[in-house]
Amino acid sequence: MVSRTWFPLAQAFMLSVFGLSSPAGATDSLAPLTELPSLADLPERWTQIMDLFDVPGMAVAVVQGERLYAQGFGSRDPRSGAPVTPETLFYIASITKTFTATTVCALADSKRLSLDDPVRKYLPRFQLADSSLAARVTIRDLLCHRYGIRSGPIVLLDAYTGEITEDRYYHWLAQAETAGTVEYSNVHFTVLGRVIEAVTGKSWRDELARSILAPAGMVRTTGYASQMYADPNAAVPLERVDGAWRAVEQRKTDRTMHAAGGLGSSAHELARWLRLQLQDGTLDGKRILSKETTGEMRATQSKLDEPDGSIRIIEGFGLAWSVGTFNGHRLCQHSGGYDGASAYVAFLPDDGVGVVVLLNAGGPARGLGDIAAVDVLERLTGTKSAWDVYDRFTRRARERKQTAAEEQASTPPPSSAPLLSQSPSAYVGSFSNPWWGTFEVQATEARLACRLGEMALPIGPSAAGNDHFTIADFLDENISGQFLAADGKSVESIRLLHPRFGELVFHR
């Protein structure tokens, strides 16, 4: 006779081994990808090329109707050997925009705002270089990237240094230029985060958690980096250096989590997110967003001048979602990337299917993310793309690795330290600029380590001589800098020269 306790115990064993647990409040039946016949061979196919693409860990989830399939690959931290599971939390970067948009749309459903309200109704300080445009920009315009508002300083301060303040935000926004046509921008969604806060009196992430995440049973998805990385099942953002994995230096903190890119989530919970979209705003029998509003989110609201892509062809934007077609099937998608993180979600509204791909690496790793996503969508639709993504991307990855190895063998490492006129201790301190934040200098092993807020600023030597230095790729430019001091005294200020923003001076 079979014991009545066998099934619960066996189920608990399966959940602990394969990571197939359900979040609190969810009613999912979650199975490995291999249980879906059309996908059964894909896990082995991807595993064989993880090393080629410098991918330490990956999680993939698939939605097909009411069923969810998910599987983890590799390690969330190769230093400990901890495996990736469907419940592993990854930083999802710009996919956050779809959550911010849904929060705004929920406020519209409850009549607390209208998508066609001008932004200035809620944010009187909203200003652009084009003042006439600023007066007519609506919430809907921001949600569908209609005007392409550009501000490198806002993105730097929000997403990298964490040194944003409201005064700095509006200072740089008032100088922001616009593309004058549809163009993707983080700025649109950091403005929307402030709209949420103006309407609700709560931070954007707390309102998102209250109105969307809790009803959706997405109890581990979070806008707090401290909570994400404190979770025992979180992926460490990694990079491969000289053949070894190391944690990236530019890692998210609570200060750099913002409404355009400030969430951590798991493959399992993101699969639930896609179910919410595919089921017209309902999940587990609960209505979270109206059917009409969900339809608006995935309908084309703004069109690109020219379609983008050759397989996943994007024609424009819905409300946050990029919209277009995949091999003739209607497609909604969003991707995200940051140091040590790559993420992608997509769904086909007419087919009732979706895919989630999460990786704890960036750069070349994104190639495997594209392969996995296209593989799944091809299998679920029974289509074949115009060209073979697997063959082309693996060939490019091998060529890249060979080229990198040849360059490393033939090129001696450059000198990395600037020449100093005094002992390193004379340079140590905090230096501030009212619009750019805090430049920190520390001495480490007789070298200088510099940061702008949360962002490391590796400084290199300069041909200009002692106390001059260079910084690579600062707001898309390689710039020069100088430590300034009276003879024999500690450094009193630091000057950076940027081609677009001029002289940036930080005082002790």
Residue 293: count of CB within 10 angstroms of its CB? 18
pLDDT digit string (tens) for the chain, length 508 residues: 233 222 233 333 333 334 444 554 455 788 999 999 999 999 999 999 999 999 999 999 999 998 999 999 999 998 899 999 999 999 999 999 999 999 999 999 999 999 999 999 999 999 999 999 999 999 999 999 999 999 999 999 999 999 999 999 999 999 999 998 999 999 999 999 999 999 999 999 999 999 999 999 999 999 999 999 999 999 999 999 988 999 999 999 999 999 999 999 999 999 999 999 999 999 999 999 999 999 999 999 999 999 999 999 999 999 999 999 999 999 999 999 999 999 999 999 999 999 999 999 999 999 999 999 999 999 999 999 999 999 999 999 999 999 888 887 776 666 578 989 888 989 999 999 999 999 999 998 778 999 999 999 999 999 999 999 999 999 999 999 999 987 768 899 999 999 999 999 999 9
Domain boundaries, the chain: 32-96+203-403, 102-200, 424-507
Three-state SS at 172: helix
Q: Which CATH architecture has domain 424-507?
A: Beta Barrel (2.40)
Determine whether domain 102-200 maps to CATH 3.40.190.290: no
Residue type, 54: D
In angstroms, the CA 253 to CA 233 distance is 17
Three-state SS at 404: helix
Task: Determine if the pTM surpasses 0.75.
Answer: yes
Do 424-507 and 102-200 have the same topology in CATH? no
8 A C-beta contact, residue 158 and residue 208: no
In angstroms, the CA 345 to CA 335 distance is 6
pLDDT at 86: 97
8 A C-beta contact, residue 497 and residue 503: yes
Q: Candidates 3.50.90.10, 3.50.50.60, 3.40.1280.10, 3.40.710.10; correct CATH number of 32-96+203-403?
A: 3.40.710.10
| The 455-456 sheet, strands edge to edge | 455-456, 447-452, 437-444, 429-433, 502-507, 493-498, 477-484, 468-474, 459-461
Three-state SS at 114: coil
pLDDT at 215: 96
8 A C-beta contact, residue 58 and residue 84: yes
In angstroms, the CA 2 to CA 297 distance is 50
Residues sharing a CB contact under 8 Å with residue 200, sequence separation 6 or more, in sequence order: 107, 112, 207
